[in-house]
Amino acid sequence: PTLRFPEFRDTQGWKYVSLQEASVPVVERVGQRKLTPVSVSAGTGFVPQSEKFGRDISGNQYQLYTLVSDGDFVFNKGNSLKFPQGCVYLLQGWGQVAAPNVFICFRLKDGYSNGFFQSCFEQNLHGRQLKKHITSGARGNGLLNIAKETFFGIEMPTPSLAEQQKIADFLTSVDELIVAQTRKVDALKTHKKGLMQQLFPREGETQPRLRFPEFKDVAGWDAHPFEDFVAKSFYGTSNSTSPTGRYPVLRMGNMVDGGLNFTNLAYIDLDADSFESFRLKDGDILLNRTNSPALVGKISLFSSDIECITASYIVTYRLKKQRIYPSFCNFMLNTPMYQGRIKRLAKPSVSQANINPTTFKKELIVSVPTLSEQRRIADCFTSLDDLIIAETERLDALRAYKKGLMQQLFHSAAEVEA
């Protein structure tokens, strides 16, 4: 590797060791033991079948499942986007579980570090070798046709046990930082969700349970049809788009968590008059009027000066800013209560659901406070969103740091593949 810890720089180089040499198969059946039947999912690891499938699918095959204990590895031959040749995970903190006997299970011999090998599997060093042995796609059960002999024949670049353990311990410390940062991001998101439930009225109420001190003696929120706050509404363009062009076109995939992601854009060329008829302005509210029943009704705020338009399945509502603060409107329409109301306006078709833009603005009843209270609420959530973004960026940086370290602490993928 390009990076070694100082105490190992003058030691012997790494050796390629086959899994057959470094491990023993785990083949003991569950039998009459009462254990949790699990599956193995790429990117997640071990998951109870009842959680993944909504029920225990082991049935009459349960007694034939493999008994897997903490410290054992399991190879799932199912292909996925992250691990096209299957994924391998180390069981930790479960005690014992029951794994389907279509999985290949094994345990490392003395002299080999579980943490080190788990990092090798995390980098898909096994998949890079297995892909040359796969001559067909997944079978009817979704599993790749990989023989046990082929799997145990793959080789891992391996240093001494002391160096293996040093690498594993170091990466574990990085993983602990990532876990802690993930919890921080999740806690902030949970806090935001709780605040949204308190700072907006519940169904049937005229004012929220929590108000900022300066507004506690102000009258309750007034209910209006959404159209009372709309100055103008219009569809996006139905013209064909392309990967290049003068003006970016926002599509439903660009609408994310109430905001907009300006990656993976389509483009279009339009004359000046046509562009102006579709042009978005800062403060516009966007409604995804056509999508699957689960995704229809997504709301996003356009808060930019970019010259931009939308596709036809997105409706733009230009607001009367003297009556409603756009950022407040966006937060409000993204609360669970309003998202539920919006989805109930959708009419199902064969595979999609549709919301009539006129019905939306006439039948959606919204409760709003004074403009100053709207702005106070919006500023609160905007500050919280900024904090979530900053902490998420720190999490992404930690993940990138770990990825870069792993590329230097292990043999390159090209060397392993060769």
Q: What percent of the chain has pLDDT over 70?
A: 96
Domain shared by 134 and 245, yes or no: no
Task: Indicate if 258 and 336 belong to the same structural domain.
Answer: yes
The residue among 104, 237, 113 whose CA lies nearest residue 170 is: 113
Q: Is residue 362 located within the same domain as residue 383?
A: no
Quick one: 37 and 125 in the same domain?
Answer: yes
Give yes or no: residues 145 and 170 share one domain.
no
Instruction: HSE, CB side, 13 Å, CA atoms: give it for residue 401.
Output: 13
Structure confidence by residue, pLDDT tens digits, 61-91:
999 999 999 999 999 999 889 999 999 999 9
Instruction: Please check whether residues 328 and 259 belong to one and the same domain.
Output: yes
Q: 234 and 212 in contact (C-beta within 8 Å)? A: no
Question: Which ranges of 136-222 does DSSP label H, i.e. alpha helix?
Answer: 148-152, 161-199
Q: Hey, what are 169's tokens? A: 């311990």
- Name the domain count of the chain: 3
The answer on 414 and 347 residing in a single domain is: no
Of 1-5, 30-34, 95-99, 196-200, which gets the smallest average pLDDT?
1-5
Assigned domain for 208 exists = no
Residue range 227-246: mean pLDDT, rounded? 96
The candidate with the shortest Cα–Cα distance to 226, out of 330, 150, 103, 156, is 330
Residue 321 has pLDDT above 60, yes or no: yes
If one counts every other C-beta atom within 10 angstroms of the C-beta of residue 81, the result is 7
Share of the chain above pLDDT 90, in %: 83
Domain for residue 9, yes or no?
A: no
Model confidence over 357-377: pLDDT tens digits? 999 999 999 999 999 999 999
CA neighbor of 257 nearest in space, from 212, 193, 206, 316: 193
Of 101, 136, 157, the position where a domain reaches its end is: 157
Structure-token match 């699990």, residue found: 38
What CATH code is carried by the domain that includes residue 78?
A: 3.90.220.20
- The mean of the pLDDT values for the chain is 93
| CA separation for the pair 367, 363 (Å, rounded) | 13
CATH code of the domain containing 415 = 1.10.287.1120
SS3 content of the chain, % helix, strand, coil (to 5): 40, 25, 40
- According to the model, what pLDDT value does residue 151 have? 96
Position 203 confidence tier, pLDDT thresholds 50, 70, 90: confident
Give the pLDDT confidence score for residue 268 in this predicted structure. Answer: 96
- Measured from the Cβ of residue 270, the count of other Cβ atoms closer than 10 Å reads 18
- Distance, CA of 226 to CA of 209 (rounded, Å): 22
| Single-letter code of the amino acid located at 23 | S
- Digit-coded pLDDT (tens) for 89-140: 999 999 999 999 999 999 999 999 999 999 999 999 999 999 988 866 555 5
Find where tokens 């702005």 sit: 375
Specify whether 233 is located in the same domain as 364. yes
Determine the pLDDT at residue 79: 87
**31: alpha, beta or left, given left = phi > 0 and alpha = psi -120 to 50?**
left
Same domain? 89 vs 166: no
Residue 205 confidence (pLDDT) above 90: no
Structural domain contains residue 211: no
Query: Which sign does the torsion angle of CA 271, 273, 274, 280 carry?
Result: positive
- Do 325 and 280 belong together in one domain? yes
Question: Is 413's pLDDT higher than 70?
Answer: no
**Tell me: the pLDDT tens digits for 278-315?**
999 999 999 999 999 989 999 999 999 999 999 999 99
Domain around 90: 15-157
